[in-house]
Amino acid sequence: MSLPVGILDFVAISGDATAGQTVADTVEVAQTADRLGYHRYWVPEHHNHLGLAFTSQEVLITRLLAATERIRVGAAGIMLPNWAPLKVAEVFRTLETIFPGRADLGLGRAPGTDGLTAHALRNGQTHEDFPQQCAQLLAFLYDSFPADHPYSRVVAAPIPDQQPEIFMLGSSDYGPTFAAVNGLIAVFAHHMSPQYAAPLLRQYRERFEPSPYLDRPHAIVSTLAFATDEPDLADAALATWMLFKDKLQAGERGPRASLDEALEYTRSEEFASRKPSNEKLVFAGRPDDVAERLQALVDECAADELVLISPLGAQQPRLRSFEALAGALGLAPRG
């Protein structure tokens, strides 16, 4: 595989780990990914969730950029309804100024939390609709407000030599359609809606309209992947994601299962009955087998990039998985 490969890290707390240790582990994974030749490292936006080790993306992104040398780092994504477009432009222009050529700005329209938390986050304000917010953000980033616009005299300082790369995230038809109409990079969450990834990304490519930000379509697909030669660990990775989804559906927002808890679950009859259907969502197994399945997904989606999510949080198995996948996918290590 010659296309760029990135990592999306939820920075999720596992078992009885602390938030501090989880962030430290994330820094280590990002540094390892930088050395192995991964292209991007992304963190999401979520709030009111004790199972996650951070809520302030810009702080964590700055920490990861400072700890790495070449890998691009950014948000997947900024939930724009939660923020003022000017503030987002200022933050990511600042990141691009400090770390030139390495800041990624992914955009989403979901709240990233429950309704009450979103109300508190926005201080009770009702923001403009997403298309208007996105138009404002792009105008601030590219200094493109018309002369008669009220904000034409407002500058999103500082002004970097280049702008952060901008993406539109999606797990339904809205994201790819919005990206196509507005000439943006499209990122689709196969890990959330696997059945729609290929048709919607191909549709994005067909409908794409060039823009000042992008002259040709560029599609990225994110998916769950874990590589190991140990069948028990592959099952544990699958079990971890299954248990994580169960917690979400039950409205629980605590740490995800530890490795021991996941291994225990793999020995249950319930796991055995659920395993076949979930294997289609989580690509877990021997490195070469996982790489072959990932290549098939990329081909099916006509994707230009691939982003991997490790379902397993245990640090050493996770590091070994990313290293094995880097080799199996043909990434070029950096000296």
Among left, alpha and beta (phi > 0; psi -120 to 50; other), residue 183 is left
Q: What is the pLDDT of residue 49?
A: 81
Q: Determine, yes or no, domain membership for 53.
A: yes
Compute the average pLDDT of residues 195-202.
97
**Quick one: pLDDT band at residue 183, thresholds 50, 70, 90?**
very high
Mean pLDDT is lowest, of 1-10, 15-24, 46-55, for: 46-55
| C-alpha R_g of the chain | 20
Of 4, 2, 8, whose CA–CA distance to 222 is shortest?
Answer: 8
Compute the average pLDDT of residues 174-202.
96
Cα gap 222→277, rounded to integer Å: 19
Q: What is the pLDDT of residue 334?
A: 86
Domain hosting residue 42, numbered range:
5-328
Mean pLDDT, the chain, rounded, equals 93
Q: What is the pLDDT of residue 122?
A: 75
Q: Determine, yes or no, domain membership for 274.
A: yes
Q: Determine, yes or no, domain membership for 335.
A: no
Q: What is the pLDDT of residue 55?
A: 86
Residue 115 has pLDDT above 80, yes or no: no
228-256 per-position pLDDT tens digit: 999 999 999 999 999 999 988 888 888 99
Q: Determine, yes or no, domain membership for 333.
A: no
Compute the average pLDDT of residues 138-162.
95
Of 80, 130, 76, whose CA–CA distance to 104 is shortest?
Answer: 76
Q: What is the pLDDT of residue 123?
A: 67
Q: What is the pLDDT of residue 216?
A: 97
Cα gap 123→116, rounded to integer Å: 11
Residue spans of alpha helices (H) in 39-161: 57-67, 85-98, 115-121, 130-142
Strand pairing partners for 307?
6, 222
CATH at 184: 3.20.20.30
Q: Tell me which amino acid residue 256 is.
A: R
From the number of C-beta atoms within 10 Å of its C-beta (0-12, 13-18, 19+), residue 254 rates as: exposed
Cα gap 291→282, rounded to integer Å: 12
Other beta carbons within 10 angstroms of residue 75's beta carbon come to: 27
Compute the average pLDDT of residues 91-107.
97
Other beta carbons within 10 angstroms of residue 96's beta carbon come to: 24
Cα gap 162→159, rounded to integer Å: 8
Q: What is the pLDDT of residue 48?
A: 86
Q: What is the pLDDT of residue 125?
A: 67
Residue 331 has pLDDT above 80, yes or no: yes
Cα gap 56→311, rounded to integer Å: 22
**Quick one: pLDDT band at residue 121, thresholds 50, 70, 90?**
confident
Percent of the chain with pLDDT over 70: 97
Of 156, 159, 146, 155, whose CA–CA distance to 89 is shortest?
Answer: 156
Q: Determine, yes or no, domain membership for 313.
A: yes
21-77 per-position pLDDT tens digit: 999 999 999 999 999 999 999 999 888 888 889 989 999 999 999 999 999 999 998
Cα gap 167→186, rounded to integer Å: 6
Of 7, 69, 66, 1, whose CA–CA distance to 39 is shortest?
Answer: 7
Give the count of domains, the chain.
1
State the DSSP code for 229. S
Q: Determine, yes or no, domain membership for 218.
A: yes
Q: How are beta strands 185-189 and 219-227 bridged, if at all?
A: parallel
Q: Determine, yes or no, domain membership for 309.
A: yes
Q: What is the pLDDT of residue 295?
A: 97
- 201 sits in which H/E element: helix 194-207
Instruction: Tell me which of 248 and 164 has the higher pLDDT.
Output: 164
Q: Determine, yes or no, domain membership for 334.
A: no
Compute the average pLDDT of residues 114-122.
76
- 180 sits in which H/E element: helix 174-182
Q: What is the pLDDT of residue 43?
A: 97
Q: What is the pLDDT of residue 113?
A: 65
